Amino acid sequence: MDTVVEFKGVSKAYGKLQVLEDIRLSVKKDDFMVIYGLPSSGKTVLLRLLMGLEKPDDGDIFLRGENVRHMPPKVRNVGYVPQDFALYPHWNIFDNIAYPLRLMRRRVSEIQPVVQRAAAMLSIEDLLGKLPTQLSGGQKQRVAVARGIVKETDIYLLDDPLAGLDFKLREKLIDDLKILQEGLGACFLYTTSDPIESMGLAETIAILHDGKIRETGEPQTVYRSPLHLSTMDILGFPRSNLFEGRLLRKSSGVWCETDLFKFPVVMDGEGPSMEGYTEVIVAVRPESIQKASGNAGNGLQANIYLREDLGAEEIIYLNVGGTSLTMLNPSYQNGHYDVGGQIGIGMSAQDIFVFEKGNGSRIGRGKENFHV
């Protein structure tokens, strides 16, 4: 059986607050799936439903092909790593890691090797005799992960476990988690609100926004060819440039006009019916905006009003005729820009996406080989 986790039409509300709506999601064995969404998008509730700590209002949840909607948590056999460390301060690290095994009434002789194996996988063998108060934040997180994986299973749930750690430590633990998942040969279902973390970890990514799964797929495919406005907006750093446009049918085909530029559109399908024009949302990622050379494009002139130096790249904040745009300049490949200066900018139309203004579905993208 390839699919080990499946949500079929699952919804959950608390009073009038609809947290999850018609969730349909399949996770294959050995997959590292990341559920990416902004804070309060319903990620933790999704995992709690899977563990059996919450009951869905509608729909069914399957584990290994079996409907577990009415099954108690103890028989679902999933490992869990919470967002906070949740370590018992009066127990040493060995006892904290061993706690799930003791709940399962495992013999003492069985607990010792399992804890040692988990500690070795997380490189924390030398910490087993210490108390949580003697550990750093990164060490505590490793302990929490070790405690989550001592339960021998094929499904592990990780609820934003790197939140609150500094960037360098998170970067190291991202590598460690990928190696750990491959070593265990298990399914990891991992939630995060960090776009960089999600792209770095995921074999498959699912975008959760406003309580709905907007799309799933390989990270680079979802990033480079998003099917929904919310994906384009929240996945990536810096966030995408969004502005309003108008879609028109002309003798030469379908065109999109904005207050800054116009470009031909390759439609995904028939698209909306257009009598006159249709209002749309136009989106372009910061890295797709580039310094124009010579008389390329329409010669958009931009004023630089702010810049952020990130070392290997810089974020440039532009004003074009009263419209704000964000531009990413990787490795200073286009030179250095000063606040108060002016540059000409352009972009390839194929890097511009057009979405319906109402439901956010993608309508099409700019035509290849056309430059703005």
Whether residue 231 lies inside any domain: the answer is no
User: pLDDT digits over 70-122, tens only?
Assistant: 999 989 999 998 888 889 999 999 999 999 888 888 888 889 999 998 898 88
Residues 181 and 255 occupy one common structural domain: no
Name the region of 76 (left: φ>0; alpha: ψ -120 to 50; beta: rest): alpha
Check whether residue 183 and residue 42 sit in a common domain.
yes
pLDDT value at residue 305: 94
Which residues is 323 bridged to in the sheet?
A: 320
Q: What is the pLDDT of residue 245?
A: 94
Final residue belonging to a domain, choices 225, 254, 279? 225
Q: What is the pLDDT of residue 334?
A: 62
The domain tally of the chain equals 2
In this predicted structure, what is the pLDDT of residue 297? 45
Longest dimension (CA), the chain: 79
Q: Are residues 219 and 270 in the same domain?
A: no
Last residue of a domain, one of 225, 250, 271: 225
**Is 184 domain-assigned?**
yes
Kindly report the CATH number assigned to the domain that includes residue 157: 3.40.50.300
Helices (H), the chain: 43-51, 93-103, 108-121, 137-149, 167-184, 195-201, 219-224, 229-234
Q: Which of 338, 330, 327, 336 is nearest to 313 (CA)?
A: 330
Residue-level pLDDT, tens digit, the chain, 372 residues:
589 999 999 999 999 999 999 999 999 999 999 999 999 999 999 999 999 999 999 999 999 999 999 999 989 999 998 888 889 999 999 999 999 888 888 888 889 999 998 898 888 999 999 999 999 888 888 898 899 888 889 999 999 988 877 777 778 788 888 888 988 889 999 999 999 899 999 999 999 999 999 999 999 999 999 999 999 999 998 999 999 999 988 888 899 999 999 999 999 876 555 555 589 999 999 999 988 865 444 568 999 999 998 888 889 999 998 999 999 987 666 667 889 999 899 999 999 999 999 889 999 999 998 988
| Position 234 in a domain | no
Last residue of a domain, one of 225, 258, 284: 225
Tokens of 306: 């702010």
* Whether residue 197 sits in one domain with residue 331: no
Q: 17 and 59 share a domain? A: yes
Are 211 and 98 contained in the same domain?
A: yes
* 233 part of a folded domain: no
Q: Output the pLDDT for position 332.
A: 63
H-type alpha helices, 84-190:
93-103, 108-121, 137-149, 167-184
Q: Looking at the structure, tell me whether residues 145 and 274 fall in a common domain.
A: no
Q: Clarify whether residues 185 and 276 are in a common domain.
A: no
In a domain, 232, yes or no: no
Six-digit token string for 272: 């909306």
In a domain, 236, yes or no: no
Query: Which domain covers residue 277, as residue numbers?
Result: 241-366
Judge if 56 and 130 occupy the same domain.
Answer: yes
Q: Are residues 182 and 284 in the same domain?
A: no
Let me know whether 265 and 359 are in one domain: yes
Model pLDDT, residue 295: 46
Any alpha helices (H) in 241-282, and if so which ranges? none
Inside any domain, residue 207: yes
Give the CATH number for residue 348: 2.40.50.140
Q: Output the pTM of the full model.
A: 0.88
Residue 299 and residue 335 in one domain = yes
Would residue 131 count as lying in a domain? yes
